[in-house]
Amino acid sequence: MLCRAGQIRRCAASLSQTVSKVAASRQKHTLPDLTYDYGALEPYISAEIMQLHHSKHHATYVNNLNVTEEKYQEALAKGDVTTQVALQPALKFNGGGHINHTIFWTNLSPNGGGEPQGELMEAIKRDFGSFQKMKEKMSAITVAVQGSGWGWLGFDKESGRLRTAACANQDPLQGTTGLIPLLGIDVWEHAYYLQYKNVRPDYVKAIWSVINWENVSERLQMAKK
């Protein structure tokens, strides 16, 4: 019996060391580079907003996500379920912030605006009636977000249709609703307040002028696979 207990302790110690090694070798999340300059989206989004939004706010989500994941790995190694549960909100908030912003930057382009083409446009017409109706619906739910959050155009894989949705705070669209994110509009105040003050509708109206429809189309193609 003592021999068996010793084997169990050695096995547990070995497992703990393995988890620790995996945690140590885990590649940390990094802040993605933008494919355009901070001032490239002016006059619709100012360079000051872009610089603060990307290099400060998004960077904070990345840093906090890495710290939280390290703590979570330590809790896993120790079998500390209480700490694992306690860390869930931080994982959701910072992980969602990183996921959402990584999508957001690619959804924008200095050469954006106008209307989508091809299959994306056909899907929008099928599911919303027209491109203008989709814009109006998505704009309305985005402006109506209470406090901070996001407005989304997503793909419902089960039905094969496009849907709009709003998520609070940094809740990630897919993890919250099951929809695959195609286009997101950030309506946290740090995304627009320095330029648009408290007039969120003006910001939402302006951002359509820099939407990268090629990126949205690519995301739709990937979502269908």
57 is in an annotated binding site: no
Could you tell me what percent of the chain has a pLDDT over 70? 88
> Structural domain tally of the chain?
2
Same-domain pairing of 131 and 97: no
Asked if the structure places residue 28 within a domain, the reply is no
- Residues composing the chain: 225
Q: Which of 88, 107, 126 is the last residue of a domain?
A: 107
Q: What is the pLDDT of residues 73-107, one digit of tens each?
A: 999 999 999 999 999 999 999 999 999 999 999 99
**Is 101 part of any known ligand binding site?**
yes
Whether residue 54 sits in one domain with residue 122: no
* Cβ-based neighbours of 172, under 8 Å, separated by 6 or more: 92, 95, 96, 99, 100, 181
Domain-ending residue, one of 107, 137, 154: 107
- Residue at 66 is within a domain: yes
Residue 113, both tokens: 């605006």
Domain check: are 153 and 209 in the same one? Answer: yes
Residue 185 has pLDDT above 80, yes or no: yes
In a domain, 62, yes or no: yes
Q: Do 155 and 127 contact (CB within 8 A), yes or no?
A: no
pLDDT (tens digit, 9 = 90+) per residue, 140-160? 999 999 999 999 999 999 999
The verdict on 211 and 148 lying in the same domain is: yes
- Given pLDDT bands bounded at 50, 70 and 90, which one contains residue 12? very low
The pLDDT value recorded for residue 143 is 98
State the pLDDT confidence band at 120, using cuts at 50, 70 and 90. Answer: very high
Which pLDDT value is given to residue 26?
A: 65
- The verdict on 128 and 71 lying in the same domain is no
Residue 19: per-residue pLDDT: 41
Q: Does residue 39 have a pLDDT over 50?
A: yes
Whether residues 128 and 219 fall in one domain: yes
Return the pLDDT at 14. Answer: 44
**Is residue 8 situated within a structural domain?**
no
Q: What is the pLDDT of residue 173?
A: 98
| Both structure tokens of 189 | 């105040």
Q: What is the 3-state secondary structure (H, E, C) of 67-110?
A: HHHHHHHHHHHHCCHHHHHHCHHHHHHHHHHHHHHHHHHHHECC
15 pLDDT band, cuts 50/70/90, is: very low
Distance of CA 12 to the CA centre of its chain: 37
Is 202 annotated as a binding-site member? Answer: no
Q: Which domain holds residue 83?
A: 47-107
Q: What are 66's two structure tokens?
A: 């890495």
d(CA 197, CA 203): 9
The response to whether 53 counts as a known ligand-binding position is yes
Final residue belonging to a domain, choices 80, 107, 134: 107
Strand ranges across the sheet with 149-156: 161-168, 149-156, 180-186
The answer, as to whether pTM is greater than 0.95, is no
List the one residue out of 163, 178, 174 whose CA is nearest residue 127.
163
> Tell me, what's the pLDDT at 2?
40
